[in-house]
Chains A and B, each alone.
Chain A
C-alpha cells in the first residue's frame, strides 16, 4: 500500500486530507510542520509527500529543499498544497524541487485524481 506523508499545521486540513487518502486506499502519515515532516522522513520512506506551504518552523518550500537533498527523496513526488496560486510561488516551488502544486481549497476528488497521476 503506498504511503503518503501529509504535512499541514492545520489539524482540520490534515484530518481531511488523511481521510480522503485513506478512503482511496493509501496509507497516511501526518506531520504538523516541516520539521516534524523531516523527522518522520528520517524514520521511513514515503511514496509521495503532500505539503502545505505556510507553516511555522519550516515551510513547504524549505521542507521540499531539505527532502531533495536526500538521495532517497530525490525522485519521490512532492506536491505543494497552497492557497498562494501566484506564479512566483509556483516558480519558487519548482526551484525548490517540488513536483507540482495543488491550489487550496481543493476538492477531495481532485486530490485523488492528482495523486493517481503521480503514484502508479
Chain B
C-alpha cells in the first residue's frame, strides 16, 4: 500500500493525509531519538524484555505511521529494524554490538529519509539497500561481520541466501500448531517493475514473520527489475496479495499455480478464501467458530464474536467461553439504549497539552519589547529621584511597583528562551560510542545537571565547543584499556559532563579520568614554539598555554582531534559568548575543563565607566580589578606604547580616550583610574575617568542596526535614555598585542 494519498469517495470526507505529515514527522523523530537513547543505554548482557520491547515499539510506531502516510522507503527500512528487534524481544537472537550499530545507523538513515520527505522530497534519497541487507543478515542469524555494501545492482536477485528460508522452515515446523487447514499449493510468484529490486526481499521476510504462511524460495531470474519466487502455501491468492501489498503494489505481482494441489489435512471446512482466518487449530479454540463471516482484503470479523454483524446481542456459547472468567451479567444493555449517551465532550477527548509551540521570532520580539520597557522604567526611576517623596508619595510607590513588576516580567520572558542542557548533552552518548569504538577505547559517559537551563541562542553556540572538549577527552584524555590497566585504573574510562547554575552564570564541566596533562610536555612545547614561559609558572597558567593558537600536545594526530585547530578556537568561541574557560589537571589522574557562561546573551552584567562625557560598558565577566594610579606609574616604551607595573607584572595600557577619540573639554582632567580586564588569556589595563557602577544592561546588536564598529561588541540604552557602547574586550586585548 505504497500509495496512500486517497481521495475519499463514499464517506464524503475530503481526505488529504498530508495534513497529518507534520505530526507524523515530529512523532517519528521523537521515536527515533528515544530508540537511539534506549539502544545506547542497552546492556547487551542484561537486556530485559521491557527495554527490548520499548525499542521494538519505537521502530514499530515509525513503521506503522510511515506506511500509513505513504513514506514507503521509511516503512521499508523500519520494517527491517522491527523484524530484527522482534526476534530480539522474543529472545530468538541475542543482542550484539553489531546489531546496535546497524540499528543506530538505520535510525540515522530513517531520519535522513524523513527529513527529505519533510522538505518536499527534494534531492536524492540516501541509499538504504546496504542497511536493509545488513539487517536482514542479522535477522537470519548470520553473525558474521557485515560484508562490504552490496551495490543495488541487478545481480542482487541471485545472491539471496537460502539461509533465512531454512531457518524459517524449521520455525514453521516448530509452530505447526497453527498449520492451516487448507490445501497446500505451490505457486510461482513473479514480481516485476521493481524500481528497487531489494523491495521484493521484504516478501521473503513476510514468510518468516508470519508463522504458518508457508515457505518461500527465491529463484533465478534474468529479467531486470523482476524477482521470481517459489512459494508453498495454504493461503489464498487474495490473502497473499494483501500481505504483499505492504511492499509492492498489486499490479506488480503475478501469481501462478505450478504444482497440483495436495491435501495436507483432513479438514473439510473452508475454501482458500478463508485461509487467513481459518488457521484455528490452536489449543482451546473452537474450530467451528473460527471461520470468518466477512472476509475482505485487510480486515475481517470473527464469526459469532461480540458486536460482529449478525451476532446475537447476548453472548452465545463461543463468547461465553471467552469471557467465562468475567462476572456474567444478563443486563447487558441493548444497543438502542446507548444512542442517547452523551460524550464527555471534546475537552475530554485529548490529553491536555502541557506545551505550546511558538515561533522563536515572537519570543524574541517579546524580549525586545521587555527590554524597551526596562529602559523606560529605568528612565522614569532616574527622573523621579529629584521628586519630593512627601509630595509625590503615591507616584513614587507606583514607580517602585513598576520597578519590581518590570524585573519579574523580564525574568519570566527571558525564561521562555531557556532550554535544558539535555538538548546538548543528548548528542554525546552516541558520538562517544562511535568515537570510542573507532579508537578502541572503553568509555563510560555520565551527565549531571541535564535539567539546567540556558538561553536557546547560547545552547546553539556552546554545542560545538563542548563537542570539541568531549572529543578531546576521549581522544587525548582516556587511555587505551591496556594502558589503563597497567596504570592501575579500571579498564573503562569515565567522561563526566555536568552543568550547574552558579549565581548568574552557568558552569559546564567536562571531566575525564584519563592521563591528564603533563606540565613538562606543555612547557617544552611552548618553548619550542617560542612562547615566553618559565618553570616557575603556576599550574593554572601552564594549562592556559594550550589555548595558544595551534598548540597541541597530542602525540598522535588522529582523525578525531589534534590537528591543530583546537583549544584556541574553543576558547575564542566561548569568549565571544562572554564566557570563560578554566582547566584543572593532574598528570595520570585526568583533566577538568570548566566553561562559565552567562545565562543569556540578551542581558549582561556590565560595569559602566566614564570617559569625558561618554559612558562605556565593560562586561563584568572580564573585569579583574580597578585602582587609581599616579601618572608616574605608567612608563612609556618604544613607539609610544605604555605599560604599567601591577604587582610585579607589566601590563599594556590602553587609553579609551584615544581609542574612541573622545573630545575633552576640561583639559586639566586626565584619566587616572585603571581597570584591569582579561580576555583571551591576556590582561590589559584600560584608563578611564570614573567608575559609574555595575548594572544589568540589555544588549542591543549594533551590527544589525548600524554597522560593525571596531572595539565595540554592542550597545545599550542607559537609564537617562543615552546610548552607551559595550566594549569588545577581546578586540582591545588583541589591539594591545600589536
User: A-side interface residues toward B, CB under 8 Å?
Assistant: 2-3, 9-13, 15-16, 18-20, 23-24, 27-30, 32, 36, 40, 43-45, 47-48, 52, 54-56, 68-72, 74-78, 83, 85-88, 90-91, 93-110, 112-114, 117-118
What residues of chain B lie closer than 8 Å to A95, measured between beta carbons?
A: 284-285, 322
Taking a contact as CB atoms under 8 Å apart, the answer to whether A104 and B13 are in contact is: no
Contact present for A87 and B279 (CB under 8 Å): yes
Nearest 6 A-B pairs (CB), nearest first? A23-B13, A77-B307, A100-B301, A12-B24, A71-B329, A87-B279
Q: Which residues of B contact A118 (CB under 8 A)?
A: 301, 307-309
Majority secondary structure, B binding face:
loop
Distance to closest chain A CB from B323 (angstroms): 5
Q: Are A96 and B322 in contact (CB under 8 A)?
A: yes
Also in contact, A86 and B13, with CB within 8 A (given A71-B331, A100-B305, A108-B8): no
Q: In the docked arrangement, what's the CA distance between A82 and B344, Å?
A: 27
Known contacts being A13-B68, A101-B299, is A112 close to B10, with CB within 8 Å? yes
Residues of the A chain whose Cβ atoms lie less than 8 Å from the Cβ of B64? 10, 13, 52, 83, 104-105
**Cβ of B394 under 8 Å from chain A:** no
B327 within 8 A of partner (CB): yes
Q: Is B290 an interface residue (CB 8 A)?
A: yes
CB pair B12–A97 under 8 Å, yes or no, is no
Q: Which of B246, B313, B326, B341 contacts A3 (CB 8 A)?
A: B341
| A101 and B653 alpha carbons, distance in the complex (Å) | 82
Known A94-B302, A103-B298: A45·B6 in contact at CB below 8 Å: no
> Which residues of the other chain, B, contact A85 by a CB distance below 8 angstroms?
210, 242-243, 276
A103 to B57, CA, bound (A): 17
Given contacts A10-B27, A97-B322, A105-B1, 5 further A-B contacts (CB under 8 A): A48-B307, A72-B333, A75-B306, A97-B306, A99-B307
Please state if B67 and A104 are interface contacts (CB–CB under 8 Å).
yes
B-side residues, CB < 8 A to A, are 1, 4, 6, 8-15, 17, 19-20, 23-24, 27, 54, 57, 60-61, 63-65, 67-69, 178, 180, 209-213, 242-243, 246, 276-277, 279-280, 282, 284-285, 290, 294, 298-302, 305-309, 311, 313-315, 319, 322-323, 325-327, 329, 331-333, 335, 338-339, 341-344, 348-351
Q: Which residues of B contact A69 (CB under 8 A)?
A: 323, 325-327
Say whether B178 contacts A87, CB under 8 Å: yes
Are A74 and B279 in touch, CB under 8 angstroms? no
Number of A-B contacts (CB under 8 A): 222
Interface of A, secondary structure class, is mixed
9 contacts between A and B (CB under 8 A): A12-B20, A32-B351, A74-B315, A77-B306, A77-B308, A90-B277, A91-B279, A100-B308, A117-B309
Q: Are A15 and B23 in contact (CB under 8 A)?
A: yes
Complex alpha-carbon distance, A110 and B15, angstroms: 13
Contact flag A105-B68 (CB < 8 Å), given A24-B13, A43-B344, A98-B305: yes
Is A16 touching B17 in the complex (CB atoms < 8 A)? yes
Is the pair B209, A86 in contact by a Cβ cutoff of 8 Å? yes
A11 to B353, CA, bound (A): 12
CA distance A77 to B294 in the complex (A): 14
B327: which A residues are within 8 A, CB to CB?
69, 71
Q: A82's closest neighbor in chain B, by CB?
A: B64
Chain B residues within an 8 Å CB radius of A76? 306-307
Q: Name B67's closest neighbour in chain A (CB-CB).
A: A105
Give the CA-CA distance A109 to B242 in the complex, in Å. Answer: 16
B311 cross-chain contacts in A, Cβ below 8 A: 75, 99
What is the distance, in angstroms, from A23's C-beta to the closest C-beta of chain B?
A: 3
CB–CB A108/B210 < 8 A:
no
Kindly state the separation between the CA atoms of A68 and B307 in the bound complex, as whole angstroms. 11
A99, B213: Cα distance in complex, Å: 23
Docked CA distance A110–B10 (Å): 10
In whole angstroms, how far apart are the Cα atoms of A11 and B1 in the complex?
A: 21
Which residues of B have CB within 8 Å of A90?
276-277, 300, 302
Given the known interface contacts A29-B344, A68-B326, A98-B305, the answer about A87 and B211 at a Cβ–Cβ threshold of 8 Å is yes
| Bound form: Cα–Cα A91–B63 in Å | 23
Are the C-beta atoms of B8 and A29 separated by less than 8 Å?
Answer: no
**When chains A and B are docked, how far (Å) is the Cα of A88 from the Cα of B177?**
10
Determine the residue in chain B with the shortest Cβ distance to A70: B326
Q: For the complex, what is the distance from the CA of A18 to the CA of B338, rounded to whole Å? A: 20
Q: What residue of chain A has the Cβ atom nearest to residue B28's Cβ? A: A12
User: Smallest Cβ distance from B179 to chain A, in angstroms?
Assistant: 10
Instruction: Chain B residues near A45: list those with CB within 8 A.
Output: 338, 341
Q: With a 10 A CB-CB cut-off, give which of A74, A86, A108 has the most chain B CB atoms.
A: A74
